[in-house]
Structure 1
């Protein structure tokens, strides 16, 4: 016989007596982000129907967030194992400048320049992983230092100038073309989301990463190679950062040496906010992508209402703080 009990903030929704109770906060949060996104669309669509509820607006948001979405996924992977990678923004900038520099200055074919740029960013991730897992340097310190090194290297290479001359049309087409009416950057984002969702949620490798994040010592005692998994997580973060940089340069048709840092805070805000949905209290890909668009839609809508430009930074910062607090709360709820 089915029963339902309310006790200490938890609800039992099972028909079996021994079934674990599900906290109310977990149940509400699971699909909270899709609901919030829908509410944003309804509110801003009602207030600015002539400018917000248009295909051009939705397409603009989707295209602009393709780079942010890929970088946010890169942020998530180290977080899954309990580590931070603060170099992802600068690594994005490295990939963006490399692909433009190789094609515009050195005549390297576009396809090869893309591979080299993403590979070098992956190499940065490899270095981060080795320093953290093998040398034992704190991830926060390591990646903060690497971020500074990469920023300096990119500024040295470009003299602080935007590279916009000599960028091949083949590269620009990758950032501005479309297939069946779907912009290529959006297609790239969808492909990355599907691959990373499958990798983290449906494979033994992903389960091992989550095990490391749950308890490194327990994972080590169970026979997992924690060091190697840590390195691989940072490599994935580097590869995704480099790919995001390549797509950004292709979309802009230029290489901006200072653009990477602007993606760091939104990336972490999306990762933490995403951890409140679908698998509340756990960093996950689907939640992160919904979070990217919740944040972007909120900022875009506020801009349409005529609010000052600095609202974007305030909004993102508030989201980050609240998301971190919510993630901590949901983790405690899951542990009850």
Structure 2
């Protein structure tokens, strides 16, 4: 049996409402974490408020910062800084989200990103390997790490916290060994072009993040695989009895998390041209904070990619605005740490209210 995350996303009663279609596949079920729609205008307003309140808070926060520092916050440069600089975090958050949807935790996603971002410049920049091959090997290292996580957690039934925390520490050490505990870099115009080329005034990697979120949203909402993932995350034993190959779904989630983390590392190297392996773990908290805060948007109480995207830019706006107001660099850790605590608490409150309604 897999471990639960911070409570199950839906209750067993909700899980029991899911039925099998005539062909044995999982039939569409009520959206995870979504309560029955109340009638009337008041009910509609409450529904909208529960799904999009964070967006309203985001707008009010932006207006406040604009009123305080209009000459700096209200510029196109600020817009680009907020929306055009979070592509790595988007990929990393989606990596964490994939495992959370199926009821698992993966604390090694930042380290998997780090091993990719280290291997690529070491192979291509230090040893002169072809950049394409270096990228494939770098991403492959993250996928392999995801598969190892899956083997220990799914096949051997070891605690996901222990396995992924150990893997994170192991990969960080390996990255420091490979890089000599120094910043490694690579100069490749072709690699840079795939990340920082301009498309409609934004880096092309921004659009990669948008596309990734939409693809994951489509898979979770409209495909049998996505419904199976949600079902497994709700109650793995019931999903098994319903005929879903639970181990295969969980194993695939860990491997996919490794792939997305590896792509995050690739985007990072393509964007900045190098990486400091000692900084990998600093990316984990922002990714988890965004994923949990995203459960308060679009599908209250459920991990969802669109909500995660909103949460990423909400948090970035808050940090950037506070920095413009003169707060020191420590504000980032404080904001992300507080955001994670509030997000987890808010997600629990939303789930409890959904179950009670």
TM-score higher than 0.5: yes
In the other structure, the counterpart of 2:329 is 309
TM-score, normalisation: structure 1: 0.90
Structure 1 position 162 matched with structure 2 position 183: yes
In the other structure, the counterpart of 1:29 is 50
Query: How far did residue 300 of structure 1 move?
Result: 0.4
Structure 1 position 271 matched with structure 2 position 296: no
In the other structure, the counterpart of 1:332 is 352
In the other structure, the counterpart of 1:7 is none
Structure 1 position 195 matched with structure 2 position 220: no
Report the Cα distance in structure 1 between the residues aligned to 2:37 and 2:196, rounded to whole angstroms: 50
In the other structure, the counterpart of 2:13 is none
In the other structure, the counterpart of 1:128 is 149
In the other structure, the counterpart of 2:9 is none
Query: How far did residue 283 of structure 1 move?
Result: 0.4
**CA 1:50–1:110 in structure 2 vs 1: closer, same or farther (change >3 Å)?**
same
- Deviations along 1:77-105, one digit per CA (max 9) or x if unpaired, are 11111111000111110111122122213
Task: Report if the CA contact (8 A) 1:95-1:242 is conserved.
Answer: yes
- Deviations along 1:170-209, one digit per CA (max 9) or x if unpaired, are 2233333223433122122122112222222221111101
- 1:19-98 map, 5 Å: 27-98=48-119
Report the Cα distance in structure 1 between the residues aligned to 2:85 and 2:167, rounded to whole angstroms: 26
Report the Cα distance in structure 2 between the residues aligned to 1:110 and 1:278, rounded to whole angstroms: 40
Report the Cα distance in structure 1 between the residues aligned to 2:284 and 2:313, rounded to whole angstroms: 16
- Counting matched residue pairs gives 321
Task: Report if the CA contact (8 A) 1:87-1:147 is conserved.
Answer: yes
In the other structure, the counterpart of 2:120 is 99
Report the Cα distance in structure 1 between the residues aligned to 2:135 and 2:37, rounded to whole angstroms: 52
Report the Cα distance in structure 2 between the residues aligned to 1:235 and 1:307, rounded to whole angstroms: 40
Report the Cα distance in structure 2 between the residues aligned to 1:68 and 1:177, rounded to whole angstroms: 18
- Deviations along 1:47-82, one digit per CA (max 9) or x if unpaired, are 111111111111112222111111111111111111
Query: How far did residue 24 of structure 1 move?
Result: 8.7
Query: How far did residue 28 of structure 1 move?
Result: 2.4
Report the Cα distance in structure 2 between the residues aligned to 1:151 and 1:270, rounded to whole angstroms: 22
Query: How far did residue 12 of structure 1 move?
Result: 6.7
Report the Cα distance in structure 2 between the residues aligned to 1:312 and 1:102, rounded to whole angstroms: 32
Query: How far did residue 324 of structure 1 move?
Result: 0.4
Task: Report if the CA contact (8 A) 2:38-2:44 is conserved.
Answer: no
In the other structure, the counterpart of 2:318 is 298
In the other structure, the counterpart of 2:168 is 147
Gaps of 5+ in 1: 1-9, 16-20
Counterpart of 2:260 (choices 222, 230, 240) is: 240
Query: How far did residue 236 of structure 1 move?
Result: 1.2
Gaps of 5+ in 2: 1-34
Query: How far did residue 109 of structure 1 move?
Result: 2.9
Structure 1 position 231 matched with structure 2 position 241: no
**What is the aligned-residue RMSD (CA, Å)?**
2.0
Query: How far did residue 29 of structure 1 move?
Result: 2.5
TM-score, normalisation: structure 2: 0.85
Task: Report if the CA contact (8 A) 2:219-2:225 is conserved.
Answer: yes
In the other structure, the counterpart of 1:205 is 225
Report the Cα distance in structure 2 between the residues aligned to 1:224 and 1:24, rounded to whole angstroms: 37
Query: How far did residue 159 of structure 1 move?
Result: 1.2
**CA 1:278–1:169 in structure 2 vs 1: closer, same or farther (change >3 Å)?**
same
Report the Cα distance in structure 1 between the residues aligned to 2:243 and 2:336, rounded to whole angstroms: 40
Counterpart of 2:140 (choices 111, 119, 126) is: 119
**CA 1:180–1:31 in structure 2 vs 1: closer, same or farther (change >3 Å)?**
closer
